Amino acid sequence: MVSKLVNKDVSVADYGIDAMTDNGRVELSPNKKGVFSFDTYNKMIDPDSEEHKMAEEEEAEITKDYEIFYSEEGVKKVRTAGGNVYPEGTPEYAEVTGEEAPNSGLNIAMRPLLALNIMRIEFPDEIIGELNEHIDESIIPNSESFAPGLVGQLKNDAKSAQLDFPFDTEVGKQLQTVFNQIGTTYLKHLGRDATAEVTQCWTNHAYAGDYNPFHDHGVKTIAGLSGFLWLKVPQCIKDTPDVPSINNASGGVDGWTHLCWGTNTMRDLMQLRPQTEDYVKPMEGVMLVFPQWLKHQVMPFFGEGERRSIAMNWNVHDSDDERKKYMSDREANLYDEQKAKQS
């Protein structure tokens, strides 16, 4: 036989308290509930009895019965129905009053410092197919070389080239509209009140041994954007591991694009310095957009096929309000005066 022991707090004062004094028997607390007995207690611990429900309700009322006051020292305190006193700021005070206890631990927050924003866009296969067709039929046969203004070393095949992509054709105008929307979207995501205007566009036709050394792009405005869209990727580049290893002459990043916004060594990373460079595997239909100052290079590859991409630059046109964010009051006033003279 197993017996279950149940504990229940009972206010004995509710059943009357008498004291024997020199003046005889004195009632200290009136009897409100009759005689307290084993039968009474058993009913109080029976969840289905009325006595149990009444006891629970009374207990709940007692726990809410408290008084908030200020001591002579000006300390805010709470006094419970049982006479216990707890100062504000203690767990007991919070428990009695229902207020949140103050956090006595450490508040920790990590603030990563953003060094660069790169936007990634994926184009449908149909559009990539149409662009390649336009390049094969119109750009390659008719366009002038864009190489004199570029650092690309695309020269190891008869078809190696960097060619101008004009916006004055039907396809060019459509692409110009899309690129302007993309550039402006990049700026809006940064909270910049500005529009982007694509101004230059050219194709890159790289074959085995071709490469593009470290460089950045120039624009005509203070801020600018650059980007590229991969159109064809040789199978030998597609076969490289998505997480490359460059040890033991593995060729793990052959044909990849290297982005660099600082200098890093393995020692730097081990010393908790943030990453400042990345190798990106080209994928057909993927476009990257970034600030024009970002240095990048294209690694050479050694295999069959053409690595084709289209590159572009945007001028960034800030609104007057955006420009004046970076001016002193004096500069802003002079700016407004100059604008008024021009209008």
Residue 126 within any structural domain of the chain: yes
Instruction: Identify the CA nearest to 316 among candidates 335, 292, 340, 336.
Output: 292
Residues 199 and 77 in one domain: no
**CATH code at position 196:** 2.60.120.620
pTM of the model: 0.69
Residues 149 and 272 in one domain: yes
- pLDDT-derived band of residue 269, with 50, 70 and 90 as boundaries? confident
Residue 11 within any structural domain of the chain: no
Residue 114 within any structural domain of the chain: no
Residues 153 and 76 in one domain: no
Residues 58 and 196 in one domain: no
**Amino acid making up residue 133:** E
Residues 226 and 289 in one domain: yes
Instruction: Identify the CA nearest to 165 among candidates 315, 317, 316, 313.
Output: 313
Residues 170 and 296 in one domain: yes
Residues 78 and 176 in one domain: no
Asked whether 224 and 186 are in contact (CB, 8 A), the reply is no
Residue 17 within any structural domain of the chain: no
Residue 262 within any structural domain of the chain: yes
Residue 258, pLDDT above cutoff 60: yes
Integer CA distances (angstroms), 119 to 219, 221, 235, 300, 313, in order: 19, 20, 25, 24, 14
- Look at the chain and count its residues: 343
Express each pLDDT in 105-153 by its tens digit.
677 777 777 889 999 999 999 999 999 999 999 999 999 999 999 999 9
Residues 64 and 169 in one domain: no
Average pLDDT for residues 272-286, to the nearest whole number?
A: 93
Tell me, what's the pLDDT at 31? Answer: 59
The CA distance from 294 to 180, in Å, is: 20
Residues 159 and 280 in one domain: yes
Q: Which helix (H) or strand (E) element contains residue 53? A: helix 50-63
Residue ranges making up the domain that contains 248? 119-342
Instruction: Identify the CA nearest to 84 among candidates 102, 67, 101, 60.
Output: 67
Express each pLDDT in 76-105 by its tens digit.
888 887 788 888 888 888 888 887 766 666
Domain boundary among 63, 97, 131: 97
Residues 90 and 125 in one domain: no
Residue 287 phi, psi dihedral angles, 5° rounding: -120, 140
The CA distance from 207 to 160, in Å, is: 6
Residue 14 within any structural domain of the chain: no
Average pLDDT for residues 187-198, to the nearest whole number?
A: 96
Number of domains in the chain: 2
The CA distance from 194 to 101, in Å, is: 47
Residue 7 within any structural domain of the chain: no
CA angle 190, 191, 194 (to 5 degrees): 100
Residues 147 and 62 in one domain: no
Residue 215 within any structural domain of the chain: yes
Express each pLDDT in 298-341 by its tens digit.
999 999 999 999 999 999 999 999 999 999 999 999 999 998 99
Residues 47 and 182 in one domain: no
Name the 3-class secondary structure at 259: strand
The CA distance from 125 to 89, in Å, is: 64
